[in-house]
Structure 1
Amino acid sequence: MSAPRRVLIAGAGIGGLTLAAALRRHGFDVQVFEKARKLEALGAGIVLAANALWAIQRLGFYEEVCSAGLRLSGGDVRTWKGCVLSGSDFEDLERELGVFVLAYHRADLHEALLRCAGADCVRLGTSVESFDQDDDGVRVLLGDGTQVDGDLLVGADGLHSRVRSAWRGREAPCYSGYTSWRGVAPAEAALHPSRSSESWGPGKRFGIVPLSRGRVYWFAVENAPAGGSDGPAGPKPHLREAFGGWHEPIAQLHEPIAQLIDATPEEAIVRTDIVDRDPIDRWGEGRVTLLGDAAHPMTPNMGQGACQAVEDAFVLTQELTRPSVSVAQALRAYEARRIPRTSAIVLQSRRFGEVAQWSNGVARWLRDRAMSALPKRAVVNQLRRTLLDPSFYSAG
């Protein structure tokens, strides 16, 4: 673009803050509107894979973001009895891309991105409720009744995006058929300081990710009707019953799941139904577009939700900084590059979760046999095909 523009961003999540940090480095006037009165991320972990950190490196704030995370050396998938089905090491990807795979407490990553973006560009306690646009700009109406003018609006306001619903109407998300619990416990309860792991049982999974500063993130997933609750006793009794006996025959070789559950404060365990949305072929119109979960919410099965939001921010920054293009041209070019890739990952992640959550014994036996027969190189190559997609790395 020929001159810096005023960019309005709805939502101060990972994608919104990454975009704000990137555009401010290019001289854009950026304002971020966040409905929360205080930026507090849920007490859970998150992994940024090499594709996201490659983008952050090129956006110019890799060191700041890297310092907040813990480097992972690899990851394993096991049966509920602890037998390894599949494993991958991240060294080859690190050599190819020149970046690490990092695990974060969400609050740490959020704080790092806020420092990169600058807290002065974030307006808390208000959200974008609606907008109008014409050939000259876009005007947003905030939740506190004020109006703000800008050159473009980016809806990075999550699964229940007001920006998205303003032009598409309200859409119910697609329930996956399984719910999840998440928590963070002291790292003394985990045995592998740099490898993540996920164990698969009948219609259930349990995952573990080491974090920095003596902590470990864990998550439990179970087939269940939508909208369930844990009742007055809280989640721990059910989690102990469902997962507490996993890995016991060879517990000295595997993470002590029961201890992780017990070591997590009851009030710090978060239950969330797992949902996504069917891909759409348009993210906006005119001077408005979407980013992250507002555009392409996906299940967490491939660990790509936040990573794809970061990729969105990278590509949108590229398109907005091209010379001699209009706002609308830049936004449609961004969508043309991102929609095919994110749509494929949404569907791939959905399929992955369906297979991982199988409860039928024969189907699980066949799945596990097929997974254990794959050489490690084949697993790494599949990971490479996802992360090193040419449409992302070669375009622009």
Structure 2
Amino acid sequence: MIVIQGAGIAGLTLAALLEKAGQEYCVVERAEVLNTIGTGLLLQPNAQAVLSELGLLREMLQLSTCVESMSLGACHRPAVIRWGNDFALGVHRGDLHSLLLSLIPASKIFLSTSIVDWKEHPLGVEVKLSDHQRLVATHLIGADGLRSSIRHTCYSSQEYRYSGQWCWRTVINAKPFDDQAIELFKGSYRLGAIPIGCQQTYVYWVSSHLEQDPVEQFVPDQTRLCLFGEKGEQLASHLTPDLLWLCHPLCDRAVRWGKKKVILIGDAAHPVTPNLGQGAALGMEDAWCLYRLLTQKQASAEALKRMRHARVKSVRRLSWWAGKFAHLENPVAVKLRDITLRCVPEQMIAKTQLRFAEGFSQGMYRI
């Protein structure tokens, strides 16, 4: 029996892979119901490779939008990165969650339940649940997100690294830029839009220099979006008073993988800032690699670390600096950034992204 705490993207991906392989497992989730919450995601070839293994890629293509290009940089003159078909899929997080959930029998998901204690056992890990059940698991998998309780019991240090930026996210019922995405910079602000399925667009707005909780007094509005010129005005025209904005600080934590048979994956192991659009994909990569280790009877926190640490640490570092790069305010630095983005051949940028994203799928069968 493998016990997975957390029914998010990483946890459900692992559960779906184990279900396909006929492995014994259960998913423990503290929520009372599994609602399709969230906003948008950009699924690149590494995430698509895992969906393909699960037999879900064709359905995902029907639920998503193939994002062919992105306007990136200063709002008055951004560079255009052309990816072409199928490199990046814009999808609502709830649709991805529902697809993964469709592969898992309801009887294997324990809702309104959490792990209150665990200890090492001759057969692996003895787990005590909040409903007083006791399970003996070969492995305990912490897939319980940014504030993972499993991580908390493994490590005393729980410090977050705050980027100085807050992000607001929502979904509008329009596709003002067709199949093109945007990410525009303007001083301490950043505006992004990614087309997703059902003729919708995932919109995000980021601001720096906000040390206090700004949820109430700083919700994005038409005035703030119009700062970004014509494209900002196009998005602003689709804002409605009933839009729900999700708001949170952008932060990350040091990469940790757990101890022995207690293994962390996804945001429990390595929450990264979302600037490269790789958060969900990294969790899906973790799930695939751990699944392979589990089926080959080689799984441990140390084994997963050997496979994953260098790649994840690199993404964490690059994502952090991508956020800083987008919010430069020194006039000289801003000018150099904008010139660099315009002068680097767009094919070079696209090929670099493709090489990284495909690097996982090309090596996913090597353990």
Q: TM-score, normalised by structure 2?
A: 0.93
CA distance in 1, matches of 2:10, 2:144: 9
- Does residue 174 in structure 1 map to residue 174 in structure 2? no
CA distance in 2, matches of 1:72, 1:264: 28
| Contact map agreement 1:226 1:273 (CA 8 A) in 2 | no
Q: 2:202 aligns with which of 208, 217, 223?
A: 217
- What is the 5 A alignment of 1:36-75? 36-75=31-70
- Does residue 277 in structure 1 map to residue 247 in structure 2? no
Number of residue pairs aligned between Structure 1 and Structure 2: 366
CA distance in 2, matches of 1:245, 1:352: 21
| Contact map agreement 1:186 1:216 (CA 8 A) in 2 | yes
| Contact map agreement 1:46 1:105 (CA 8 A) in 2 | yes
The 1:357–1:375 alpha-carbon spacing in structure 2 relative to 1, beyond 3 Å, is same
CA distance in 1, matches of 2:241, 2:342: 32
C-alpha deviations, 1:231-286, integer Å up to 9, x for none? 3x6724xx4343323223xx5xx7713224x23624x1111111111334xx1222
Please report how far the alpha carbon of residue 128 of structure 1 lies from its aligned counterpart in structure 2 after TM superposition. Answer: 1.9
Q: 1:35 aligns with which of 30, 34, 43?
A: 30
What's the counterpart of residue 265 of structure 1? 242
What's the counterpart of residue 71 of structure 2? 76
Equivalent residue letter for 1:21: A
Q: Which runs of 4+ in 1 moved over 6 A?
A: none
C-alpha deviations, 1:313-371, integer Å up to 9, x for none? 1111111122xx3544xx53222111111111111111111111112222111100011
CA distance in 2, matches of 1:46, 1:395: 27
What's the counterpart of residue 315 of structure 2? 345
Please report how far the alpha carbon of residue 45 of structure 1 lies from its aligned counterpart in structure 2 after TM superposition. Answer: 0.9
Q: Cα RMSD (Å) of the superposition?
A: 2.1
CA distance in 2, matches of 1:217, 1:348: 23
What's the counterpart of residue 226 of structure 1? 211
Q: 1:247 aligns with which of 210, 229, 232?
A: 229
C-alpha deviations, 1:7-65, integer Å up to 9, x for none? 10010000100000001111111100111111124341111111111122124433344
What's the counterpart of residue 219 of structure 2? 235
| Contact map agreement 2:293 2:299 (CA 8 A) in 1 | no
Q: 1:129 aligns with which of 116, 122, 131?
A: 116
CA distance in 2, matches of 1:296, 1:141: 25
CA distance in 1, matches of 2:215, 2:242: 15
Q: Which runs of 5+ in 2 are unaligned?
A: none
The 1:38–1:378 alpha-carbon spacing in structure 2 relative to 1, beyond 3 Å, is same
Please report how far the alpha carbon of residue 217 of structure 1 lies from its aligned counterpart in structure 2 after TM superposition. Answer: 0.9
The 1:372–1:103 alpha-carbon spacing in structure 2 relative to 1, beyond 3 Å, is same
CA distance in 2, matches of 1:303, 1:23: 26
The 1:170–1:129 alpha-carbon spacing in structure 2 relative to 1, beyond 3 Å, is farther
- Does residue 90 in structure 1 map to residue 74 in structure 2? no
The 1:43–1:199 alpha-carbon spacing in structure 2 relative to 1, beyond 3 Å, is same
Higher mean C-alpha deviation, range 284-293 or range 144-153: 144-153
- Does residue 195 in structure 1 map to residue 169 in structure 2? no
- Does residue 162 in structure 1 map to residue 136 in structure 2? no
Q: Which runs of 5+ in 1 are unaligned?
A: 1-5, 95-99
Please report how far the alpha carbon of residue 172 of structure 1 lies from its aligned counterpart in structure 2 after TM superposition. Answer: 2.3
Equivalent residue letter for 2:281: C
Equivalent residue letter for 1:240: Q
CA distance in 2, matches of 1:326, 1:54: 22
CA distance in 2, matches of 1:364, 1:346: 23
Please report how far the alpha carbon of residue 393 of structure 1 lies from its aligned counterpart in structure 2 after TM superposition. Answer: 4.0
C-alpha deviations, 1:191-239, integer Å up to 9, x for none? 22212111111011100011211211100001033342243x6724xx4
The 1:217–1:326 alpha-carbon spacing in structure 2 relative to 1, beyond 3 Å, is closer
What's the counterpart of residue 131 of structure 2? 144
CA distance in 1, matches of 2:205, 2:156: 33
What's the counterpart of residue 296 of structure 1? 270
Equivalent residue letter for 1:265: D
Please report how far the alpha carbon of residue 103 of structure 1 lies from its aligned counterpart in structure 2 after TM superposition. Answer: 1.4
The 1:206–1:337 alpha-carbon spacing in structure 2 relative to 1, beyond 3 Å, is same
Please report how far the alpha carbon of residue 105 of structure 1 lies from its aligned counterpart in structure 2 after TM superposition. Answer: 1.2
Name the SS for the 1:25 alignment partner: helix
The 1:216–1:255 alpha-carbon spacing in structure 2 relative to 1, beyond 3 Å, is farther
CA distance in 2, matches of 1:180, 1:61: 30
Higher mean C-alpha deviation, range 133-142 or range 308-317: 133-142
CA distance in 1, matches of 2:366, 2:298: 19
CA distance in 2, matches of 1:156, 1:306: 12
Equivalent residue letter for 1:245: L
Equivalent residue letter for 2:183: E
- Does residue 377 in structure 1 map to residue 347 in structure 2? yes
| Contact map agreement 1:174 1:277 (CA 8 A) in 2 | yes
- Does residue 286 in structure 1 map to residue 286 in structure 2? no
Percent sequence identity is 29
